[in-house]
Amino acid sequence: MAVTLQQTLIDIDEQQLVFHLHNDQISYILGVETGNVLAHLYFGPRVRGYHGERQYPRIDRGFSGNLPDTTDRTYSKDDLPQEYGGNNTGDYRQPAAIIRAANGARTVDFRYQDCRLEAGKPDLKGLPQTYVEDEDEAQTLIVTLRDATLGITLELAYTIYRERPVITRSARLINQSEQAVDLEKVASMQMDLPTQPLDAISLPGSYARERQLSRERLNRGVTQFESRRGASSHHMNPFVALAAPNTNEFQGNVLGALLIYSGNHQISLERDPIGQTRLTMGINEYNFDWRLAAGDSFQTPEVAMVYSTTGLNGMSQAYHDLLRDWVARSRYKREPRPILINNWEATYFDFDANKVQSILDAAAPLGIEMFVLDDGWFGHRNDDNSSLGDWFVNRNKLPEGLADISKRTHDKGMRFGLWFEPENISADSELYRAHPDWVLGVPDRGRTLSRNEYVLDFSQSDVVDNIFEQMTAVLDKVPIDYIKWDMNRNLTEVYSPHSDSAHEGETSHRFILGVYDLMERLTKRYPQILFEGCSGGGGRFDAGLMYYMPQSWPSDNNDPIERLKIQYGTSLVYPISAITAHVGTSPDELLGRSTSMKMRGAVAMSGTLGYELDAAQLSDADKQAVKAQVVFYKQHRELVQYGTFYRLESPFESNTVAWMFVSPDQKEALLFTFVILGAVQPEPHITKLAGLDPQQTYVETDTNKMYGGDELMQLGLYTTPVQTSDFTAQVHYFKAKD
C-alpha cells in the first residue's frame, strides 16, 4: 500500500487499520475489526482524529452467533456495525450481497485484505456517476475484501471531495475463482448507524404527483423504499435522508443517500434489536440475477452521501452543487437555460406546419427562446397507438419535413427542439413488423401493453444500434438544438428473447446499461444539443439521467398548486436548473383548476421556465403578462437557476408556501410566497427570509423600501393573505444597496 498523495484527505492508521476520510466539513471513519471484518465507525461533522471512541461494545448476546470457527462469545457480526455485511454466516440483518456459488450455497463472508489510495475519482465504466474536473478535488480509498471460499474479491470505493460534505461509494466484485457464480444481490453501499432515534425522509409519488415529501420515524424492523418498475419511477425516488428528529429545513443533522441509477432500486433501513440502523442501497434484488463468469467483474452504481449539520436546506444545497457541477456533464450545465414553448398541450397530435407557424408567430414576439415539437411528428402517428420505433418524419403532417420546421423556428430567432421516445415501440410500426423479436417479452406469454406500447429490448446492442442510427439520421440532417427524451411506460415481462436462461436475470440491469449507452453516444456526438429527460412527466427524475441530461420534466401536472408540492419535494435533492416548470392553461388540462397567470407564472419561474399552451390562443392581456414574465425571468434566471435555494415554508405543512434564491455574493435575492387558500379573517402570517448578509442593507426594487438583511431574516415580512381569493403569489426582488 503506497500513500503518495499530497495534502491527503484520507488518513490511514496502518497499525490499527483505521481509515479516516475528511475535509473541512465532514469525517467518515471505518476500521478493520477482529477477524478482519470491515467495521463502520463514524460519518458526521469533521473530527480531527479518531482515538477508539467507537470501539465495538462486546457483549455476549444470546442467539447471535460468533465468527465462524472461533469461540469468543462477545463478538458477533449480528450486532457489529459494518460497512458491507455478508450473508448466511451469523449476521441476520439485511445482507449487502447474496452470491450463489456453483454448489448452490449462498454464504458470503468478506474479510479485509488490503487498501489503496487513488487521486481523484476512478471512472465507473458504462455507468453515470460523479466526476471531478481536476484530480486534486477528490481522493479515493479503495478497500479490498475477499471471500476466500468463493474466490471473490470485493472492492469498496470511497471518494471524498475537498470542498463538499459528500462521500460517494460503490462496490465492484471480481470473480477470481475458476467457476461462474450468480450474484443475486449486490448493494452499492451499506452502513450501520449507531443507536439513535431517526426519521426517514423519502420521495414517494405517482404519475402526475411525483416526489411528495414523506417523513416517518424508524421503528424496529425493515422499512423499504424501492422501485420494481424497471425505472427509478414516479413512485419512489432513489433517495433517502436520515434525520435526527429535531431536524428541520434550517437546523439539525441529516444524512442523505442518493443512488445514481435509473432502474430498479432498493433502499432498505433495518432497525436491529438494539436500535442500530442498517442502511443498504443499490440495484433492487428483485428481477436481478447476474451470472459472473470466472475472471469477470461487476460494478455497482454509485451512491452519493451528504452530511449536513444545517438541516435539510444544507443537505439540498450540497446535492444541488454536486449534481449541477459534478454529475451533469452537458455544456449547458452552467448556461442560462432557454425559455421554451412546447406544443404538446396546445395541439396534442393534431398539428401541421401551419399550426406550428401560428405558435411560432405568437411566441417569438413574447420573447420565448425555443420551440419544442412534441410527440406525433414521426411515422404515421396521429394518436398514441402507432409509430414508436419509426423515427422518420410523418410526411402527411409535415410534407416539407422537419428541416422546414427547424428553419421556420430559426427564422423567428428561436431554437428548435424535438421529442423522441427511443426505448419504446408500437406494434403498428415498420420497426415492429421487421423485428417483432426486438421487444421485451416471454415467448408463449402475453405481453403487457401500457399506453399501447411495448418496450424495446435495449439489453441487446443491435437494437440500441438501430435506434442510434435512426436518430442520427434525423439529427445529422436537421439543425436541432434540444431533445426531449421521453419514456412512457414501465417494464413488464422482463425477458430478452435473445438471452439464455443463465443470463436472463441480467435483463433489467442490461436494459438500463443499453439506455445509458445510447445516451452516452448521442450526447457525445451532439454536444451542442440540450437534452431534457422525461418519463410521462417525472418517472425518471434521477441523478443517473442527470449525467447525460442537465434538466428533466418533473411532472405532466402543470397545475401550480399541485406543482408547489412536486417542485418542493424535487428540490430536496435536485438543483433548480434541472427542474423544468411550464405555465399551462387555466383551467388546468389535467385537474381543471382555474388559477391566475400570476400564480402560474410565479411557480414556473421558480424553476427552468417554459410554456405549455397555445401562444396563438392567448388573450391580449395574457400575452402582456407572458411578455412581462419572460422579461423578468431573463433578468433573474441566473439567480434562479444557479443561486442558492432555500425552502422556507412547506406546502406539505402550511397554507403559506415560501422559497427563495440568493446569489453567491449575497447581493441579490428573490423571494416567492404563495397562499393556497384565501381567508376572510386571515391570521397574520410572517415569512422569515434566509441566506442574506445580516450586515447588508437590501432594497426591495418594486417598492424601493430598504431593509437590513438581519431584519428580513429575524423580523421577516407579513405574508398574510390580503385578498380573500385562493391561489395567490407574491414575488419580491431584493438588491444590496451599494
| Residues of the shown chain interacting with ligand DGJ in the complex, contacts defined by CB under 6 A | 344, 374-375, 419, 486, 488, 534, 536-537, 553, 556
Burial of residue 554, with CB atoms counted within 10 A of its CB: 0-12 exposed, 13-18 middle, 19 or more buried: buried
Does the bond joining 301 to the residue before it have cis omega, within 30 degrees of 0?
A: no
User: CB-wise, 108 or 402, nearer to ligand DGJ?
Assistant: 402
Rounded to the nearest whole angstrom, what is the least distance from the CB of residue 621 to ligand DGJ in the complex?
27
If the CB atoms of residues 212 and 730 are measured against ligand DGJ, the closer one turns out to be: 212
Pairing mode, if any, of strands 265-271 and 221-227?
A: antiparallel
Please name the residue that has the C-alpha cell 471524498.
Answer: 160
| Minimum distance, C-beta of residue 534 to ligand DGJ, in the bound complex (Å) | 5
According to DSSP, the β-strands at 265-271 and 297-299 are: unpaired
Q: Which of 486, 542, 559, 588 is catalytic?
A: 486
User: Strand runs (DSSP E) across 284-320, as ranges?
Assistant: 290-292, 297-299, 302-308
Helical pair 560-570 and 597-604, crossing angle rounded to 10 deg:
10
Indicate the residue among 20 and 381 with the shorter CB distance to ligand DGJ: 381
Q: What is the DSSP letter of 340?
A: E
Nearer to ligand DGJ, 183 or 545 (CB): 545
DSSP state, residue 304: E
Rounded to 5°, angle at Cα 22 from 21 and 25? 145
Say how many C-beta atoms besides its own lie within 10 A of residue 467's C-beta: 22
For residue 612, the minimal CB distance to ligand DGJ (Å) is 8
- In the complex, the smallest distance separating the C-beta of residue 244 from ligand DGJ, rounded to whole angstroms, is 37
Q: Which is nearer to ligand DGJ, 419 or 548 (CB)?
A: 419
- What phi, psi does 503 have (nearest 5°)? -115, 5
- Identify which of residues 165 and 539 has a Cβ nearer to ligand DGJ in the complex: 539
- Per the CB < 8 A criterion, the answer to whether 311 and 257 are in contact is no
Please, what is the minimum distance in Å from the beta carbon of residue 448 to ligand DGJ?
A: 19
Q: Which amino acid is at 492?
A: T
> Has 486 been annotated as catalytic?
yes
Contact of 529 with 481, CB cutoff 8 Å: yes
Beta carbon nearer to ligand DGJ, 419 or 511: 419
With CB atoms as reference, the residue minimizing the distance to ligand DGJ is 375
The DSSP bridge pattern shows strands 370-373 and 340-342 to be parallel
- For residues 734 and 588, give the distance between their C-alpha atoms in angstroms, rounded to a whole number: 32
The least distance separating ligand DGJ from the CB of residue 566, rounded to whole angstroms, comes to 13
- State in angstroms the smallest separation of the CB of 537 from ligand DGJ: 5
| Residue number with CB closer to ligand DGJ (344 or 661) | 344
Rounded to a whole number of angstroms, the minimum distance from the CB of residue 415 to ligand DGJ is 18
Answer yes or no: are the C-beta atoms of 243 and 257 closer than 8 Å: no
Other C-beta atoms lying within 10 Å of the C-beta of residue 644: 20
Count CB-CB contacts under 10 A for residue 239. 26
Sort 343 into a burial class: Cβ within 10 Å, 0-12 / 13-18 / 19+. Answer: buried
CB atoms within 10 A of CB 358: 16
Task: Report phi then psi at 15, rounded to 5.
Answer: -70, -55
Catalytic residues: 486, 556
